[in-house]
Structures are given as structure tokens and as C-alpha cells.
């Protein structure tokens, strides 16, 4: 059974549709990361699960039970926000125990649970301190503890790491993952940071403009982006996305005003598409490229150039073999490394494989996913 399941779920704010008929089933015990640009509806979706936003249409089920009308406190979810306001006048221990106190749990049980949680979070030595006497990461852990203490079945995190500095973020990322393994609950984390998504998630849900563009493991989403949007959103430096049209043979993609590259299979002739290739996959070859700028990334050089037809291309080269600005070099695209997307819909295309000598046979077929 899915831990969390949306069927045709939507959210209207006045006239505007923030969540557009989403179907989504998230497996129990998984770490799921909802990833997408600002304003795409990530927080809204999370708040709909927590019960902090009403559901305008469709259904939400948690562990098989309809939740649309349930009070937030009866949903078995704990939410950790970006601004995890701790009570400054309370000690760490009191902060963690607070939700239990509100729920009327006895003093002895509160104490036992706080000790348990503090142990898991390595806060045992800090229970008597106040939030003002803690580092950012420690405060973060106290906020986590406050969520954990009620032993929820589902943890909901809305950008929990975005207030931390870069180093602490990485450290807390590891801690979140470790905690998840230890607790075995379902975790749902919202972020616009693709690296956070890639590293934390068992499953990524990539959102854009109120719709889910793709669900999959980070590997799947990275290696086989379902749409042009996902292709451009995941990966740094970002994938090159070059508009092109197939030639009469259907085997080559011709870039605007410019050179052509061979595809791994065949599409219909004259098809408008977008050819994607990651900068780290750009090889050497015969496509003429003029280098406009070279950025030293430390471990590699990022080369910005233009094909003869004018299309901008970025590629990664070892620093010691990086070309200079203004230099003309030859690049090539390995057909197996290309990602093809429909020029109009942005949906992924799979070029149809054809054996060399089957030139004249059958209609070219196109499969979309």
C-alpha cells in the first residue's frame, strides 16, 4: 500500500490553479524529494498532505485512508519547516517535549521519550541549554526532535536545510538520511536544490507549474529525463538543449542554420525536436565550435562556445586540455549520449532503431514517453 496517494488532486487559490490534477503514489518507508523551481507548488503539495491547506478537488489517502476532511493532528504527519521557530525561553528538552505536553502525555513518559529522541539526534548533552546557546545545526536537530517525539508515520520537510551554510547543509543532509534509515518512517522533503534531491532521495518527484513532470529514482531521472524541462533542471552544469529538425533520412538532427548530428535511431523526416547533451558528454569531432569563454571549475574547465550555425554549447574539458578563448575546435556528439525531445510538447522521444539495410522498409515510428 502506498504511504501517500493523490488521485486527481488539485488546489485552487481563488481563480488560479496551483496544483493541477496530480496523481501520485509514494511507497511506504521511502525518502521522497519533491524538486522544482520556485512557485511550482511544492510547499502547497506538502501542506495539502499535512492538512494545512484544504484540497480543492480529487483525493488524498495516507496509508489507504481518505484524509481530505481530517484535522492535521489526526493525519499522523509531522512537519518541519524552513523557519523552525524554537521557543527561546524553553530549554532544548522542553522544546522537544512540548508537543507531548500539549497532547496531554504524562510527565514520566515525556521524559522517557525526550531522552530517546535526544539520543537518536545526539542532543543528550544539550538538553538543558536554550536555543540561543546552540549552533544552527544543533537548532535544526532540536526542531527535528520536536517533530520526531510524536512518532509520526510520515515526516514532511519544507526546505529544512535552506537556512544553513553550505558545509552544514551537507552535514545535515547526511544526518537526515541516517535518521530516515533509523526511523523507517516515510519522509517527504521539498527543495529547489537539485543536488539535495539527487543525494537524499530514493524517489524524486520533479514538479513544474503545478504538475508532476517525472517520478523516478535520481538515476532514472538523470539518465532518462521524461521532458525537456527535467533535462534542463537536473544536472550542473545544465544539459545543452539545442533546437533542431530531422533531415529527409530521419537519421540526422540538423541544428538551426548549422551542422547536423547523427542520432542513435530514426525519426520521421522534418520533425521538430530539441537535442539534449550533457556538457560532460560532449566529445571531439567535426562540428566546428568557436570558444567564447572558459570557466575554471577547479576540477575541470567549463567551455562556452558557439556552433557554426550560432547555437550555444557548453562542454567540460580537463583543465590542462582546455582550449583558449577565441579558439576554433571540433566537437562531436555520441549518438548514444543524446536525449531527444519533441520540439512542441517537450516530451522525450525515443528514436526508432533501424538496421542499416532496412532503409526503404516500413513507416518510421516514433515512441513518446
Closer to ligand ATP by Cβ: residue 13 or 87: 13
Instruction: Judge if the upstream peptide bond of residue 174 is cis by omega within 30 degrees of 0.
Output: no
Least CB distance to ligand ATP at residue 36 (A) = 6
Least CB distance to ligand ATP at residue 359 (A) = 49
- Neighbouring residues of 224: CB distance < 8 A, sequence distance ≥ 6: 216, 339, 348
Q: Name beta bridge partners: 305.
A: 291, 313
Sign of CA dihedral 46, 67, 71, 27: negative
For 359, phi then psi, to 5°, come to -40, -50
**Applying CB under 5 A, does 191 fall inside the site for Mg ion?**
no
Alpha-carbon distance 311 to 172, whole Å? Answer: 40
Least CB distance to ligand ATP at residue 209 (A) = 9
Which grid cell sits at 81?
Answer: 519547516
Stretch that binds Mg ion, among 1-9, 36-44, 114-122, 357-365 (CB under 5 A): 36-44
**Applying CB under 6 A, does 192 fall inside the site for ligand ATP?**
yes
Asked whether the beta carbons of 211 and 227 are under 8 A apart, the reply is no
Interhelix angle 136-148/107-120, nearest 10 degrees: 130
Residues that bind ligand ATP (rule: CB under 6 A) add up to a total of 11
**Applying CB under 6 A, does 87 fall inside the site for ligand ATP?**
no
**Applying CB under 6 A, does 15 fall inside the site for ligand ATP?**
no
- Touching ligand ATP, residues 22-81 (CB under 6 A): 36, 38-44
**Applying CB under 5 A, does 44 fall inside the site for Mg ion?**
no
Asked whether the beta carbons of 192 and 34 are under 8 A apart, the reply is no
**Applying CB under 6 A, does 83 fall inside the site for ligand ATP?**
no
How are beta strands 154-158 and 77-80 bridged, if at all?
parallel
**Applying CB under 5 A, does 43 fall inside the site for Mg ion?**
yes
Binding partner of residue 39 among ligand ATP, Mg ion, none, CB cut-off 5 to 8 Å per kind? ligand ATP
Least CB distance to ligand ATP at residue 38 (A) = 3
Binding partner of residue 48 among Mg ion, ligand ATP, none, CB cut-off 5 to 8 Å per kind? none
Q: Which residues of the chain form contacts with ligand ATP (CB under 6 A)?
A: 13, 18, 36, 38-44, 192
Amino acid at each position: 500500500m502506498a504511504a501517500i496517494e493523490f488521485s486527481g488532486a488539485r488546489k485552487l487559490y481563488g481563480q488560479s490553479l496551483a496544483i493541477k490534477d496530480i496523481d501520485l503514489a509514494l511507497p511506504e518507508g521511502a525518502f521522497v524529494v519533491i524538486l522544482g523551481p520556485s512557485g511550482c507548488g511544492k510547499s502547497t503539495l506538502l501542506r495539502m498532505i499535512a492538512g494545512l491547506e484544504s484540497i480543492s478537488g480529487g483525493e488524498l489517502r495516507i496509508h489507504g485512508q481518505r484524509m481530505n476532511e481530517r484535522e492535521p493532528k489526526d493525519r499522523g504527519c509531522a512537519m518541519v519547516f524552513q523557519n523552525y521557530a524554537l521557543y527561546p525561553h524553553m530549554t532544548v528538552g522542553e522544546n522537544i517535549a512540548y508537543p507531548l505536553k500539549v497532547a496531554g502525555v504524562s510527565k514520566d513518559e515525556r521524559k522517557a521519550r525526550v531522552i530517546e529522541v535526544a539520543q537518536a539526534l545526539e542532543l543528550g548533552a544539550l538538553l538543558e541549554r536554550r536555543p540561543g546557546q546552540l549552533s544552527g545545526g544543533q537548532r535544526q536537530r532540536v526542531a527535528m526532535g520536536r517533530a520526531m517525539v510524536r512518532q509520526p508515520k510520515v515526516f514532511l520537510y519544507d526546505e529544512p536545510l535552506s537556512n544553513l551554510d553550505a558545509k552544514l547543509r551537507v552535514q545535515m543532509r547526511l544526518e537526515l538520511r541516517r535518521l530516515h534509515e533509523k526511523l523507517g518512517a516515510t519522509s517527504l522533503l521539498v527543495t529547489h536544490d537539485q543536488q539535495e534531491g539527487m543525494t537524499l532521495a530514493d524517489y524524486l518527484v520533479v514538479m513544474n507549474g503545478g504538475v508532476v513532470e517525472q517520478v523516478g529514482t535520481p538515476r532514472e531521472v538523470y539518465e532518462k529525463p521524461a521532458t525537456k524541462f527535467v533535462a534542463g533542471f537536473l544536472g550542473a552544469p545544465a544539459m545543452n538543449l539545442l533546437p533542431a529538425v530531422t533531415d529527409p533520412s530521419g537519421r540526422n538532427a540538423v541544428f538551426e542554420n548549422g551542422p547536423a548530428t547523427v542520432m542513435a535511431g530514426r525519426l520521421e523526416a522534418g520533425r521538430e525536436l530539441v537535442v539534449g547533451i550533457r556538457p560532460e558528454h560532449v566529445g571531439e569531432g567535426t562540428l566546428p565550435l568557436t570558444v567564447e569563454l572558459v570557466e575554471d571549475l577547479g576540477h575541470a574547465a567549463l567551455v562556452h562556445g558557439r556552433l557554426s550555425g550560432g547555437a550555444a554549447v557548453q562542454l567540460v574539458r580537463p583543465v590542462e586540455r582546455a582550449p583558449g578563448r577565441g579558439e576554433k575546435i571540433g566537437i562531436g556528439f555520441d549518438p548514444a549520449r543524446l536525449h531527444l525531445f519533441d520540439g512542441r510538447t517537450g516530451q522525450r522521444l525515443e528514436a526508432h532503431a533501424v538496421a542499416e539495410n532496412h532503409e526503404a522498409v516500413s513507416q518510421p515510428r516514433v515512441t513518446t514517453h
